[in-house]
């Protein structure tokens, strides 16, 4: 009977080893097709039109009596830069490393020019075939130089915009700790609303950077979607694994006897199967003891789940906000570099109000955890620094080493991290609602979510 089953199974699953070479057959065929297309014969088939040049001016900097344009050849063929102009007036220019630019390579065009601060300019680059490409700057501003004073300015800006507002938001902890369950549900869902708005805002910033500064050949929108989804999945898996590992470790440290009993359940079950007829009474008693110890372990697991899950959510919120604030710092530093932002008191106040809500998002999930005050304060300060300090690093990199590709990647990673936190937070809210008197979606949850969206929108108007 068994041999018959094996034969039947063998019809669908061959017992012979499948030759490994079969896996490479499609790759070999595809390689041959690509080689043919790149050969002169293949080129004669597909190159029936005239390839057009494409130059992307990624960044324009204003220095003392000089304008620097950073360009990239994003067309299909090598190009030669023949001239540069400012406001349609041809200017002498030097090109590094060379006027001949291979595909996807970049070059720096240095134009001696006595520019005037606050004046709009259009920088033009013309290739050898007469095609002109341009980039407009609304108001010229001196590019920051990488020195101690400028680094101190960026640090101060990052502290005022990122660190201090988050720390202010953490001060809601004593209030949320003492409110009723209904109000607590309101603040949990308000946190979800804040984070959803942050995630959408990050993707909108990415789209703006892609449209203004990133070459179309890099397909920035697709890259953003890829990075966002990948970071969401990776962080979701990581947070679940870390939470589970922390729970298991805590239970093992708390009760070694219970964990040992739970790990031997499978062996006792097997021995129970083999000796049921001989020692029925003893097995029954052992099974009862094992089942009792298993229940104790499960209770311990549930307790640690209730303790560690909110802590994990708050930590992931801090990490997600930190990644978002890093991207925000990149945007602020780049705006200063490109002369697109005037740092006024009103702007700083707007950022402070807008980012204070981020501290509230960190506080809400852990407000009801029973922990010593000293430990909780230390944990909150750590989370606040994780969320706020990346703003400083972002302003440094954005102001000194601006890269639109880096901005797209980091903002997308931040968006994915935020959406992962929203997913975990909604799951936690759903569990919290089911364990309460009502399992349906409450008015507190709906009101909190909408309020969170409105708060982020209204404070965003001040930035």
Nearest 5°: phi and psi at 427?
-60, -40
Q: How confident is the model at residue 100 (pLDDT cuts 50, 70, 90)?
A: very high
Bridge partner list, 346:
none
Predicted pLDDT at 226: 93
Predicted pLDDT at 277: 47
The per-residue DSSP string of 410-463 comes to: HHHHHHHHHHHHHHHHHHHHHHHHHHSS--SPPHHHHHHHHHHHHHHHHHHTT-
Helix (H) or strand (E) holding 269: helix 265-274
Antiparallel, parallel or unpaired: β 55-63 and 100-101? unpaired
Q: How confident is the model at residue 76 (pLDDT cuts 50, 70, 90)?
A: confident
Q: Is the pTM of this model over 0.75?
A: no
Q: Work out the number of other CB atoms within 10 angstroms of the CB of residue 121.
A: 19
Predicted pLDDT at 264: 47
Read off the pLDDT of residues 235-272 as tens digits, 9 standing for 90 and up: 888 877 766 776 666 566 655 544 444 444 445 444 44
Read off the pLDDT of residues 313-363 as tens digits, 9 standing for 90 and up: 888 888 888 887 887 787 777 777 665 555 555 556 667 777 787 888 888
- Residue 142 DSSP class: B
Average the pLDDT over 141-168 and give the result.
83
Average the pLDDT over 157-168 and give the result.
87
Q: Work out the number of other CB atoms within 10 angstroms of the CB of residue 59.
A: 20
């Amino acid at each position: 009977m068994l041999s018959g089953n094996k034969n039947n199974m063998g019809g669908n699953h061959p017992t012979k080893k499948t030759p490994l070479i079969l896996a490479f057959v499609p790759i070999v065929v595809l390689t041959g097709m690509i080689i043919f297309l790149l050969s002169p014969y293949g080129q004669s088939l597909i190159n029936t039109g005239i390839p057009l040049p494409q130059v992307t001016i990624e960044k324009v900097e204003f220095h003392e009596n000089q304008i620097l344009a950073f360009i990239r050849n994003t067309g299909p063929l090598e190009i030669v830069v023949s001239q540069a102009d400012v406001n349609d007036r041809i200017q002498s220019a030097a090109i590094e490393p060379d006027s001949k630019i291979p595909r996807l390579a970049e070059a720096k065009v240095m134009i001696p020019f006595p520019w005037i601060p606050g004046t709009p300019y259009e920088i033009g680059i013309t290739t050898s075939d007469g095609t002109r490409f341009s980039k407009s700057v609304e108001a010229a501003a001196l590019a920051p130089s990488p020195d101690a004073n400028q680094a101190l300015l960026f640090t101060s800006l990052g502290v005022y915009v990122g660190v201090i507002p988050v720390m202010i938001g953490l001060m809601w902890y004593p209030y949320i700790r003492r409110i009723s369950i209904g109000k607590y549900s309101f603040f949990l869902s308000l946190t979800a609303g804040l984070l959803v708005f942050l995630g959408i805002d990050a993707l909108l910033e990415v789209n703006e950077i892609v449209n203004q500064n990133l070459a179309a050949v890099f397909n920035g929108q697709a890259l953003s979607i890829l990075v966002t989804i990948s970071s969401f999945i990776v962080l979701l898996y990581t947070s679940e694994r870390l939470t589970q590992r922390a729970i298991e470790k805590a239970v093992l440290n708390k009760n070694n006897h219970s964990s040992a009993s739970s790990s031997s359940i499978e062996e006792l079950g097997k021995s129970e199967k083999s000796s049921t007829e001989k020692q029925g009474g003893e097995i029954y008693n052992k099974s009862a003891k094992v089942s009792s110890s298993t229940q104790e372990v499960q209770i311990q697991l549930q307790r640690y789940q209730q303790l560690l899950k909110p802590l994990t959510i708050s930590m992931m919120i801090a990490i997600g906000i930190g990644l978002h604030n890093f991207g925000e710092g990149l945007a602020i530093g780049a705006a200063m570099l490109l002369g697109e932002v005037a740092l006024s008191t009103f702007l700083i106040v707007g950022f402070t109000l807008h980012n204070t809500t981020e501290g509230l998002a960190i506080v809400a999930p852990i407000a009801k955890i029973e922990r010593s005050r000293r430990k909780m304060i230390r944990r909150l300060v750590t989370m606040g620094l994780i969320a706020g300090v990346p703003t400083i690093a972002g302003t440094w990199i954005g102001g000194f080493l601006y890269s639109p590709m880096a901005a797209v990647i980091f903002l997308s990673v931040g968006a994915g991290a935020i959406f992962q936190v929203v997913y975990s937070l909604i799951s936690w809210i759903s569990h919290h609602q089911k364990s309460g008197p009502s399992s349906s979606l409450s008015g507190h949850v709906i009101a909190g979510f909408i309020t969170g969206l409105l708060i982020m929108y209204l404070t965003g108007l001040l930035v």
